[in-house]
Amino acid sequence: MAAVAMAETMEARVARLESDVAHIRSDVGELKVDLKDMRKDVGGLCDEMHKGIGALRDDLRKEVSGVHEKIGGLRDDMHKELGAVNETIGSLRDDMRRSVLETRIWMLLIGGGLLGTLAHALHWL
């Protein structure tokens, strides 16, 4: 009798294990389907992300090229302005040299006139 009860208990356990294995197999099958769907979704999101990043990269390149053009224009304007400043400084330097030379000439003329007057005065002494 004990053997019969033990056999029935074992059969019940085996039936329960087979039922549990069937549930686990169905859960694994559902997980595989969910995993396939998730992979499709992630693949689609990756494609969208790559397209978005590509568009952002293109926009960034356009903006950077626009900035480079603006910097180039500013550089050209700066060179023109510096050229004008250099010309102005050169003309002011020439005017200053001319002014200094004219002052020296007048100083020499005045000094010569004073010496001439002094010599004329000493001649009468």
| More confidently predicted of 3 and 16 | 16
Query: Tell me, what's the pLDDT at 92?
Result: 94
Query: Tell me, what's the pLDDT at 17?
Result: 87
Per-residue pLDDT tens for 75-120?
A: 999 999 999 999 999 999 999 999 999 999 999 999 999 999 988 8
The secondary structure of 80-122 as a DSSP string is HHHHHHHHHHHHHHHHHHHHHHHHHHHHHHHHHHHHHHHHHHH
Q: Does some domain include residue 111? A: yes
Q: Does some domain include residue 121? A: yes
User: How far apart (Å, rounded) are the C-alpha atoms in residues 125 and 121?
Assistant: 7
Taking 70 as the threshold, does the pLDDT of residue 125 lie above it?
no
Query: Tell me, what's the pLDDT at 101?
Result: 93
User: How far apart (Å, rounded) are the C-alpha atoms in residues 119 and 116?
Assistant: 5
Q: Does some domain include residue 113? A: yes
Q: Does some domain include residue 55? A: no
Per-residue pLDDT tens for 6-64?
A: 878 888 888 888 888 889 999 999 999 989 988 888 888 888 888 889 899 999 999 88
Q: How many domains does the chain have?
A: 1
120: containing domain:
94-125
